[in-house]
């Protein structure tokens, strides 16, 4: 597992968090209880601090970094989609950052907000709680509905459960040469993309 101490500062990972073996965690990084960090994610705390609060998730190939005066903070139940980049920003409790989005320095995404996939959030952008933000540059387009927030929370709960599944059952293995008869499926719940 690639964890790296730098200048005497060692990452902190709660024993109930799951960090994939291909993720890279450097320096001043604090990963809280029940968090999930996916394959290929890179959390570089070699300048500012990075904190993932309780039951937040950081999916595959995300990059998190910041300037030396920043604290990149993903608050409780924060949900960071595949390939997102966070740099010196604050992601509010129960907020979602969509796939391949970029959130720049000193920005604050309000609690319960959703940043749409492939959005670019400029430096020092701030949105109030439950904002739907879209575009490049990102703009607030409306409030997040109760249905959308519930959809987000269902997805986050699946990642909380995935963390537990990974800790209890994921092991490195060799592949099979052919598909076995009556192969089990990993289909779990009826959580699907939102229709816009």
pLDDT tens digits, residue range 13-32?
A: 999 999 999 999 999 999 99
pLDDT higher than 60, residue 142: yes
Looking at every residue in the chain, the average pLDDT score rounds to: 95
Q: What domains are there in the chain, each with its CATH number?
A: 3-143 (2.160.10.10)
Round the CA-based radius of gyration of the chain to a whole number and report it. 17
pTM to 2 decimal places: 0.94
- 124 exposure class (CB count in 10 Å sphere: 0-12, 13-18, 19+): exposed
pLDDT tens digits, residue range 98-117?
A: 999 999 999 999 999 999 99
pLDDT tens digits, residue range 47-88?
A: 999 999 999 999 999 999 999 999 999 999 999 999 999 999
Cβ atoms within 10 Å, residue 116: 18
């Amino acid at each position: 597992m690639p964890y790296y101490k730098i200048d005497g500062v060692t990452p902190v990972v709660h024993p109930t968090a799951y960090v994939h073996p291909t993720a890279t965690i450097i320096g001043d990084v604090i990963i809280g209880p029940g968090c999930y960090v996916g394959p290929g994610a890179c959390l570089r705390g070699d300048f500012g601090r990075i904190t993932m609060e309780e039951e937040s998730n950081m999916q595959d190939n995300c990059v998190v970094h910041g300037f030396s005066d920043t604290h990149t903070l993903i608050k409780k139940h924060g949900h960071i989609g595949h390939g997102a980049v966070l740099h010196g920003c604050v992601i509010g409790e129960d907020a979602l950052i969509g796939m391949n989005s970029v959130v720049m320095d000193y920005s604050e995404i309000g609690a319960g907000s959703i940043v749409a996939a492939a959005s670019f959030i400029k430096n020092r952008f701030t949105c109030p709680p439950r904002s739907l933000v879209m575009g490049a540059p990102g703009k607030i387009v409306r409030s997040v509905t109760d249905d959308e927030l519930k959809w987000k929370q269902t997805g986050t709960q699946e990642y909380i459960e995935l963390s537990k599944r990974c800790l209890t059952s994921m092991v490195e293995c060799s592949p099979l040469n052919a598909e076995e008869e009556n192969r089990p499926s990993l289909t779990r719940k009826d959580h699907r993309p939102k229709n816009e």
